[in-house]
Amino acid sequence: MSDLYSIQFEDSAASNALKNFKFSSLEDYEARLALFNLSVLADYDQLVCLPSLSNIDKHWYQIETAKKVIKQFGGRALLSDEVGLGKTVEAGMICKEYFARGQIKSLLVLVPASLVSQWQLELSEKFGISTVTTDGRQLPPDEFWLAHECIVASINTAKHSSHFSHVTSRSWDMVVVDEAHHLKNRRTLNWKLVNAIQKRFILMLTATPVQNHLIELFNLLTLLKPGLLKTEAQFKRSYVASSDGRIPKNSEKLRQLMREVMVRNTRSVVDVKLPKRFASTITVEPTASEQDLYQAINDYLRQNQSTKGIDKLTRNTLLMRAGSSPSALADSLKGLAKRFEHEELKFLKKRTSHMKKFSKSQQLVELLQRSTKKTLVFVNHRATQSYLSDCLTAAEIKHTQFRGDMSLKAKDAAIEAFREEVPVMLASETGGEGRNLQFANAIVNYDLPWNPMKIEQRIGRLHRIGQKEDVFIFNFCIAGSIEEYILKILHEKINMFELVVGEIDSILGNMGDEFDFEETVIELWLANGTSKERTEAFEELGGQLLMAKQNYQEVQELDEKLFGEDLEA
C-alpha cells in the first residue's frame, strides 16, 4: 500500500507541476533545436554528408581535404591536386557538407563551356545537388540569374556583357571555379568576373596553378584571400628571383603562405597505384561496297556543306553513323530525306538498305569470341546497339545492354547481370556513369568518340582506384575513316593511352581557349578530299598537339619545383 500511495502521490505532484508549467512557444522550441543541431554539427572533424555519398568512391585524402578546407581555410581554397586525383569529388564533397549543415543555399559553378553538362551530371548523380545550366537557359539574363539558387555556368557566358552585371549583382554562398588557371591574368574578364562576384565561400580547381610566371599564383591567391601576398610589387620583391618569373626565392616562406589557402595532393603522397593499361587499335578493312558507301557519304557532305539546313550536328551525326553500322546510317538518311529532296539521298538510302553485314561488327564478334575478360563495349547509337545485340546473339555470346533511356531498375539489373552472369555489356555513352565497374577490365570503343576527353572518361570507368587487374582498351576504326586519322594523332603523336587520366584535358588546354578538338578534326576531314591532303593536315595537327604536350610537361616541372609535396591535406 505504501508503494501504491507513493506512486499516486508522485503522479499527483507531477500533474500539479504540469498544470503550473509554462510551455515554450513553437518558435522558442525550434530555436533551441536549431542551436542543439548546430552544436552537434560544429565539430568539423566529422563530415555529416558522408552517409549520403554511398554511390561514389571516397578516398581518405579527399575526405581530409574537405575537412581542412572547411575547418582551417573557412571555405576559401585552391584545390591543386595532381591530375586524376579527384579535385571535382573534393569540391562536390565540400559543397554537399555545407548544404548538409545548412550553411549555404546558393551555388554558382563556373567552368569552360565543354564541361557544363558534365558538372551538372556529376553534381546530380554523385552528390544529389540539382542545378540548372546556362546551356538550358530560357529566361532572359536579368531573370535567369535571380530565379535559380544553384547554377552551373559557362564562364564565357557569365562574363559576357549581357550577363556580367546580373551575375555580380546578387550574393552567392558558394562559388566553384574549375580550370582556375584561366584566371591567371588580372587583366582578363575571367579574373575580373570572379573578383567582382559577391561570395562567402570560393573553391578554385586547377592542377597547374602556375604555367608561365609566378605572378599567376599571386593573381589566383588574391581572389581567395586578398592581401595574403600583399601587393604585386611586394610579391615580386619577396618571392620572384628571375626576370622571366619562373624561379622563386624565399620558397619556404612562400609555401608557408600557400598552406593557408592551398591543398595539393600528389600521387606519391597519397600512394595511388593503378594497374597497367594496354591500348590496341583494331583497324578493320572494309569490303568494296562498304568503302564505296563511306566515300559516297563523304562526297555528299563535302558537296552540301553550305546547303541551308544541314547544320553541324546533322553533318557530324551522319559522318559518325557512316562508320558505326548500316542500321544507324539508315536512320540518319531517313531523317535527312524528310528534310531535303536531294537525289543523292535516295541513292545512299538504297545502297545502305542492301548492306546486311558489316565488317566492323564481324571483327567485334571475333574479338569477343577469343576474349576471356569482362568486356564493356561502348556504342554511340541505339540502332547500332540493337544491331550488335543481334550479332552477338547469333554468335551465342551472352551479353546485356545498358542505355540512358532505361529505368533505374533495368539499369541495376543490367549491371548485376554483367557482374555475375554475362561476359559482355553493350553500353551507351552514359553506360555505368557513377557506378562501380572495376570488376570488368576490358573496354572496346566500338564507336570511337571524336572528343579525347570522352575517350578518357570511358577509360576512367574501369582504370581507376579500386581496379585490381590490368586494363585492356581496344579502339575500333575502319581503314581510311576519320576515326583512323584521329587515333593516329592521339595514339602515335601524343601517346594518349599512356597518359594519366586527366592529362589530356591539360594538354588540349594549351591549344588555346577556343580550340575544339572535335570540330577541328571534322573541318580538316571535310576540307581535304584526297588521302595525301588529309595525311598532311592531320600531321600538322599532330605536331601542334605534341607541342602542347611538351608545354604541359614543362609546366608540370615548374609546379613540382615550386610546390614540392608539402601542401597535401
Structure confidence by residue, pLDDT tens digits, 79-118: 998 877 889 999 999 999 999 999 999 999 999 887 888 8
Q: What is the pLDDT of residue 274?
A: 78
Asked if residue 278 lies in contact with residue 243, where contact means CB atoms within 8 angstroms, the answer is: no
- For residue 324, give Cα distances in angstroms to 129, 317, 525, 538: 35, 10, 17, 22
**What gap in Å lies between CA 45 and CA 177, rounded to an integer?**
25
Cell reading at 81? 591536386
Q: What is the pLDDT of residue 17?
A: 47
**pLDDT at residue 229 above 60?**
yes
**pLDDT at residue 356 above 90?**
no
Using CA of residue 127, residue 119, residue 508, residue 157, what is the dihedral sign?
negative
- For residue 264, give Cα distances in angstroms to 125, 202, 401, 552, 566: 26, 16, 40, 18, 8
Closest CA to 211 of 239, 237, 185: 185
Structure confidence by residue, pLDDT tens digits, 36-63: 555 555 566 789 999 999 878 788 899 9
Topology (CATH level 3) of domain 50-270: Rossmann fold (3.40.50)
CA 434 to chain centre: 11
Structure confidence by residue, pLDDT tens digits, 467-517: 889 999 999 999 999 999 999 999 988 998 888 766 787 788 788 777 889
Q: Where are the alpha helices (DSSP H) in 325-478?
A: 326-339, 343-353, 359-370, 382-394, 408-420, 452-462
Q: Tell me which residue has cell 539521298.
A: 345
Q: What is the pLDDT of residue 434?
A: 52
Q: What count of other Cβ atoms lies within 10 Å of the Cβ of residue 152? A: 28
Q: Tell me which residue has cell 559543397.
A: 95
Counting residues of the chain whose pLDDT is more than 70, the rounded percentage is 88
Q: What is the DSSP letter of 285?
A: P
What 3-state class would DSSP assign to 148? coil
Q: Which residue has the higher pLDDT, 346 or 204?
A: 204
Q: What is the pLDDT of residue 3?
A: 44
**What number is the average pLDDT over the span 215-229?**
92
Cell reading at 525? 576531314
Q: Kind of pairing, strands 442-445 and 471-478? A: parallel
Q: What is the pLDDT of residue 554?
A: 83
Domain boundary assignment for the chain: 50-270, 277-284+354-563
**pLDDT at residue 4 above 80?**
no
Asked if residue 96 lies in contact with residue 129, where contact means CB atoms within 8 angstroms, the answer is: yes
Give the lowest-confidence range in 80-84, 122-126, 137-141, 169-173. Answer: 80-84
Q: What is the pLDDT of residue 144?
A: 97
Q: Kind of pairing, strands 424-427 and 277-284? A: unpaired
Task: Tell me if 50-270 shares its fold with 277-284+354-563.
Answer: yes
**What number is the average pLDDT over the span 215-239?**
91
Q: What is the pLDDT of residue 5?
A: 38
Cβ burial, residue 396 (10 Å; 0-12/13-18/19+): exposed
Q: Tell me which residue has cell 556529376.
A: 122
**What number is the average pLDDT over the span 264-284?**
84
Terminal-to-terminal C-alpha distance of the chain: 68
Q: What count of other Cβ atoms lies within 10 Å of the Cβ of residue 146? A: 12
Structure confidence by residue, pLDDT tens digits, 157-211: 999 999 999 999 999 999 999 989 889 899 999 999 999 999 999 999 998 888 7
Q: Kind of pairing, strands 107-111 and 171-177? A: parallel
**What number is the average pLDDT over the span 141-169?**
96
Please report which confidence band the pLDDT of residue 32 belongs to, taking 50, 70 and 90 as the band edges: low
Closest CA to 485 of 526, 428, 440, 454: 526
Q: Hey, what amino acid is at 481?
A: S
Output the average pLDDT for the chain. 87
Q: What pTM value is reported for the model?
A: 0.68
**What gap in Å lies between CA 449 and CA 439, rounded to an integer?**
24
Counting residues of the chain whose pLDDT is more than 90, the rounded percentage is 56
Q: Tell me which residue has cell 554537399.
A: 96
Q: 277-284+354-563 domain in CATH 1.10.730.10?
A: no
Asked if residue 77 lies in contact with residue 203, where contact means CB atoms within 8 angstroms, the answer is: yes
Give the phi and the psi of residue 296 in degrees, each rounded to 5: -65, -40
Using CA of residue 527, residue 530, residue 536, residue 542, what is the dihedral sign?
positive
Closest CA to 225 of 251, 259, 252, 250: 259
